[in-house]
Each structure stands twice: as C-alpha cells, then as structure tokens.
Amino acid sequence: MTVTERQQLSYIAAQAADARVNLEIETEGMTLNIGPQHPATHGTLRIVAKLDGEQVVSAEPVMGYMHRGYEKLAEVRTYPQVTTLINRIDWLGSFANEVPFILAAEQLMEVEAPPRAQWIRTILFELSRIANITLFLGDMAVQVGAITPVFFAFRDREHVLNQIEAVTGGRFHPNFDRIGGLKDDLPAGWIDETRQALRKIRSFCDQIEELVEGNEIFQARTRGIGVIPAEVGLSYGLTGANIRASGVDWDLRRDNPCGLVYDQVDWKVWTHPDGDSFARFWVRLQETREATKIVDQLLDGIPAGPIMAKVPVIIKVPPGEACVETENPLGMMGYYVVSKGDLFPFRVKIRSASFSNVSITPWLLKGVYVPDIITILGSLYFILGDIDR
Amino acid sequence: MIGVLSELSYWQVTSIRVAAGLGAVLLVAGTLVYVHLFKMVSFMQSRLGPMEAGPYGSLQLMAEIGKFLQKEDIVPRRADRFVFKAAPFVVLASTFLLLVVLPGGPDAWFISNDLGIYLAMAVGSISVIGILMAGWGSASKYSLLGGLRATGQLIAYELPLLLAVVGVVIQAQSMNLQEIVLVQANGEIFGWGGVGNPFIVTQFVGFLIFMVAMQAELTQTPFDMPVAESELVTGYMTEYSGLRFLLFFIGEFATAGVFSAIAAVLFLGGWYVPGLDPTDNLFNVIGPLVLIGKVVLLSFLIFWIRFTFPRFREDQLQRLAWKFLVPLALGNIVVTAVFKVAF
C-alpha cells in the first residue's frame, strides 16, 4: 500500500467518523444574509455569515452595492469640480475628504495656502471630525441596544453642523476648500459661537461617559469582544482610532501634518492597550474631547491675512504625481493624484480608511455570536460611502 | 358587581364581561402607549413626540391603528400559513386570560379563583407558544432566531417570576389575588396599620426579582434579544404587517399593563388606597382607577429602563437568570418561610 493510498483511506475513515458524529447530533449550518438592507449596516454593506446555532463559522463582507465610481469620474472633472464628488465619500465628515485632495493639488502646483487659510482648514477639519465621531458615540449605543443616546448625539451634533454651515453654507457637503486657500473668510461672531458649541460637545461627552461607557451592560457587551492584536491590525491596514485602540501610537496629525497646523497646538494622541470593542469606543470618546481642545486652542490664535493665495483663474496643474495622506475621522485617507498638465487629473487613486477597516471582518467575526457581529461592526465604525467610493 | 350581575341573564353578564375585558386591555394598552412610548420617551430623548393628531398628539394611536388596518396583510410564500396567521392571536389570548383573575375592587372582578396567581402564571406562559409559532411559521431566518431566543429567555425567566411570587403567597397565606389585596389592606407594619402592609415593604427582594423577571417576560430592553432591532431586524415580528403586526404591538403593551397590574396587586396593595375602609362600596368605582394608576407607575419603571439600557447578550441573560435570580429567589422564600413560622 503506497503512502497516498493510506492517506486516502485515512481521509475516508475520517469523513465516515464525521458523518457518524453528524448523525448523532443533527446539526445543520445556516447561512444568514446580514444586509444589504439591514438596520445595523448603516448603508448597504452585506455580510454573509455562516452560522452554527448562534455562533459564526465564517463571515464574508460583500461590498460594492454603493459603488459610485468616483475615481473614474474624477478623471473627467476639473480640479475644483472634484471636491464636489469627494465630499460624498465619508458623508458625515465631508470637509475632511476635501483637504487631502486639495493639499495634493497644491503640492503639484507648488502653491501654499496662506497661514489664515491653513488654520481655518484645520479648525473645519477637526469640527468635521467632531460631527462625525459624535454620531458614532450615539450609534454604538444603538448597536448594543440602547436607543436613547443616539438622539443626544443627533441633538448635539447639530451645534457643530450649524457652525460648519455658518462658514461654508453646507451642513454635510461644504465644498469649501479651494486650491490655494478657502472660498470665504469666517463670518462675524463665529469664534464665540463655536466655543459655545464646543462646550456643548464636551458636556455631551460627559453624558455619554456616564450613560454608555460606565454602564455595566455596555461594558459586558463590549469588553473582550472583537479583540484586534496590534500586529494583525497593522497587517490588515487598519488606521485611525481602530489601530490606536490596539495600542499602536500612530496618528498622522502628529506624525505628518503636511499643510495643517497641528504642530501649533498642544494635544495628545490617545491609545488603549486592549484592542477590543470597548477600547475603540473609549479612544473615539477621548478623541472627540481632544478635538474640542484642539479647536479651542486654534480659535485663540487664528492669524490675520488673506485666505487665498495667488492662483490662476483657470487651474492647470503641471505634470507630476503627488500623494497626500491625512488622519481623517475614520482613519487614514490618502489621494494619489497623477497629472499630465491638463485641466483634469489623469488619475486619482483614493485610499479610504473604511475599506481596510472592513477587510478585517472575516478574521474578526470567526467564532463570535450573532449579537457580537453587530457590536464589532459598530465599533469598527465604517461608512459605506467610504468603503465603496 | 357580583350582586348586580346575579340578577342579569347569562348573555348579559357575558357581554358585560367581554366589554369590560376588552376595555381593560385596550384602554390600558392605549394609555401606556401614549403616556410612555409617545410622550415620556420623547421627553427623555429631547423631542416632543406626536403633536398633530388630537390635543398634544393624544389621538396618534388612533391614526396608527387606522394606518395598520389599511396595510396589506402579507404572508411570506414559504410560511406555514395557519401557524403564521394564528400566532398573534395566541399571544393576545394570553394577555386576556391573565386579566381574568385580576381584582379591580371588593366586588369588581371577573372570577374569584382560589388558585388565582397560579392560573395567572400558567396562562402567562401561553404567549411563549405564540412567539415560537410566529418565529417558526414566518419561514425567515431572523424570525426563527428571534423565536428561539424568545423561547429560551421566557422559559428561563418564568422560574424567578414564579419563585418571587411564592414569597408573597407564603406571607398572604392565599393564592387568591383578592385575598392578597385584603391581607395587604388589613395588615399592619409593626402594629401600625396606617397604610396597611403593602408587601413591597416585607418582600422587597421579591419585588425586585419580580420586576426584573417581568422585564424579561415582556422582552423589553435590557432583555429584548428576541426583537433586537439592530441584530434581527425585529425578530419574530419581522415578517408581519398590517393588522397582525398591530396585534403584536397591542399585545406587547397590553401584556406590560397586565403584568404591571399583577405586580401592583402582589406588592403595592392592588386597588386599595390607605385611609379608606377596604369593604367600602366606593372601591368598586375608584378601585379600577387606583389600579390603573399603580399600573402606570410600575410600567413607567419598565419603560424607563427599556429606553435607557443597552441589551444583554443571550448567554449573559441566561447566566443572570440561573446563577443569580433563581438562587436569590430561593433564598427569599427560605427567609420568608422562616419569618412566617417564627412570628
């Protein structure tokens, strides 16, 4: 008997043994389609989960239900028009989407925004971060079953959106950033109103801390659930709060501010050693607080001067390539812009955070229970527009 | 009421009882929906709730009912049609049967049964069958998961619910709910009979266990995995629409009302208010209102908790029931029995 025959026989024997076990305990797997229309996937993410009882055997995210082809569309838009498109990538923190693209275009054109524009850019960038993560803080509570905090989140996010609207004219899609500066200056009295809004956000954070973070059931539901070790997270390309919650001290705002004025203020990068769902929630809560502090300090020292550098009316970007990455609310967002000296970019590659953040789900969801799927998806915090573009 | 009813013929008595039963279930359910679901929760969540239909939106429920009645009654193609269609009625039937033993005054009740609370606990479990029917009959995976979760949960929490009642039964020396009310009304706290002896004082542990187990029986947050709208869409109700969904919806609130009423009878003195003679004929009129007042109070607790807390996971819920509530309830029974014998 050759080795392969013996292997075959032992394989057949093992299969027979499996069949016997299956006869004794009649168990049958079940495939559960979570999404694309499901309340927990906020958008159209679909997760195909193979279940054994309530336990997940394997889970596969299926994306693409919301693909809008922005990378291709950007090739037939002039540079100022592209911002209108990319506003819609992460629709909760839209202004933050515009900034890296504009910075990349500025690098190619070798212009620099005046200091005042840089400061206001940074302020709006952080405000959109607050508007984005505030909603997460309420939404995470909904995912584990408490429905009240999300109403508080919507209520207090409104204060920040009002401030963004007062400057840019748009609540969700500001389309305000320009190559070489900003469209407009700040309206009168805006600084004081913003300070009030920030105070409200800080008290909202305290409220969430008491109502959600301190709740025993919330902790029981999130602690130790969906643990991402640092090296696994890095290998899947997680960024933002997701990787900081695994104890990796990595923040592009500090490490590579490129054109934003984070080096002018005193702030801290929060990390958490645990890497579980609770850690991701905790880090985002601290980041919201930290963002209010950053904005507070920036409001103190906005320099005077113009908000627009000297830029030709018809923007033609000289040939070359530029890649700019910033720390967006959801994680690292990067634009790789290739120009052939035309009115339009030759190619725009968008690296958005949620795509990588969601790619870890098959690894993460193996062996968890059905309720934990939702906890983990909620704590990873993706936005569908950011996955599919 | 018994005296009045004895002069009427059978069909008249029956129609009065049916009307009173429908009124007791639907009015209480409507009150709870409006006061708690529409208004209290809205104020907690910094919004106003319905404001357009009727003064302060008080007729909103009528509008909702009108909406549900107009909707198409959809039965999924692969559903078990009979089981699917019967399920909401089974759930609602359990609510109506629970009502039978509840006393609303010295003479205002449906039946006087010496096994009252026993009967109530028994018919209260019928809703499990209805929920399992809905989960199985829908031919939907979400419904099936919800139905199975509900069954496991309701069976686990029947036990502490029942054991919490045993303490009261030992103290009142009766299973008749009317007797339990009278014992509380005529009781004394250390020789002072000013407010009677509501069992919430002596059976405080039992009251807490009863409220927790009741929350789980009603599948309200933090024990709402069977409906878990962020995971299972709406669990066993996912495939229902129109009238049948409305029946589930009414059943949910009516059961909350009836269970609160049982809790009020067991622990808060039922229809009795301190300072009046419990045999007074006046109680036949104000007794039901007093009971409804206590129901609103207790269900306020239920809905307050429902809209504040996150939900447990299935295994955590089972652990809470079997490892904490059941031993605690057994301990409560032992302590109550010892005190009953000693004093």
Q: Find the closest chain B residue to A153 by CA distance.
A: B45
pLDDT interval class at A23 (50, 70, 90): low
Residues from chain A that touch B229, judged by Cβ atoms under 8 A, are 39
Does position A22 have pLDDT exceeding 80, yes or no? no
Whether residue B228 lies within 8 A of chain A, CB to CB, comes out as: yes
pLDDT interval class at A180 (50, 70, 90): confident
With an 8 Å Cβ cutoff, are A39 and B229 in contact?
yes
With an 8 Å Cβ cutoff, are B46 and A32 in contact?
no
Rounded CA separation B17/A229 (Å): 65
Whether residue B221 lies within 8 A of chain A, CB to CB, comes out as: yes
Mean pLDDT of B219-240: 79
Residues from chain A that touch B324, judged by Cβ atoms under 8 A, are none
Interior angle at CA A134, CA A133 and CA A140, nearest 5: 80
Cβ atoms B103, B177 nearer than 8 A = yes
Residues from chain A that touch B145, judged by Cβ atoms under 8 A, are 32, 54, 370
Rounded CA separation B223/B321 (Å): 11
Does position B75 have pLDDT exceeding 80, yes or no? yes
Distant-in-sequence, close-in-space partners of B208: CB < 8 Å, separation ≥ 6: none
Residues from chain B that touch A32, judged by Cβ atoms under 8 A, are 141-142, 145
pLDDT interval class at A387 (50, 70, 90): confident
Residue B279, min C-alpha distance to chain A (Å): 45
Say what the pLDDT of residue A25 is: 59
Place of tokens 């009795």: B272
Residue B178, min C-alpha distance to chain A (Å): 38
Question: pTM here?
Answer: 0.82
Rounded CA separation B78/B72 (Å): 17
Average pLDDT, chain B: 83
Phi, psi (rounded to 5 degrees) for B238 = -55, -45
Q: What percent of chain A has pLDDT over 90?
A: 5
Phi, psi (rounded to 5 degrees) for B196 = 70, -155
Whether residue B320 lies within 8 A of chain A, CB to CB, comes out as: no
Mean pLDDT of B29-51: 84
Say what the pLDDT of residue A24 is: 58
* CA dist A81 → A98, A118, A176, B248 (Å): 11, 21, 11, 52
Mean pLDDT of B174-179: 84
With an 8 Å Cβ cutoff, are A145 and B309 in contact?
yes
pLDDT interval class at B283 (50, 70, 90): confident
pLDDT interval class at A308 (50, 70, 90): confident
pLDDT tens for A250-305 read 888 888 888 788 888 888 888 888 888 899 999 999 999 999 989 988 888 888 88
pLDDT tens for A61-101 read 888 888 888 888 888 888 888 888 888 888 888 888 888 88
Whether residue B316 lies within 8 A of chain A, CB to CB, comes out as: yes
Which of A20-29, A118-127, B221-230 comes out lowest in average pLDDT?
A20-29
Question: How far from the centroid of its chain's Cα atoms is residue A301's Cα?
Answer: 28
Residue B124, min C-alpha distance to chain A (Å): 26
Nearest of A361, A363, A362 to residue A377 by alpha carbon: A361
Residue A161, min C-alpha distance to chain B (Å): 18
Chain A with chain B: Cβ pairs closer than 8 A:
80
Whether residue B80 lies within 8 A of chain A, CB to CB, comes out as: no
Mean pLDDT of B162-188: 84
Say what the pLDDT of residue A174 is: 86
* CA dist A64 → A36, A355, A384, B82 (Å): 10, 11, 9, 40
Say what the pLDDT of residue B54 is: 79
Distant-in-sequence, close-in-space partners of B312: CB < 8 Å, separation ≥ 6: A217, A220, A221, B222, B223, B225, B320
Mean pLDDT of B223-251: 81
Mean pLDDT of A206-232: 86
A54, A211, A277, A372, best to mutate vs chain B, most B CBs in 10 Å: A54
Say what the pLDDT of residue A26 is: 59
pLDDT tens for A309-334 read 888 888 888 888 888 888 888 888 88
Say what the pLDDT of residue B250 is: 83
Neighbours of B192 (CB within 10 A): 8
Say what the pLDDT of residue B116 is: 82
How much is the ipTM here? 0.77
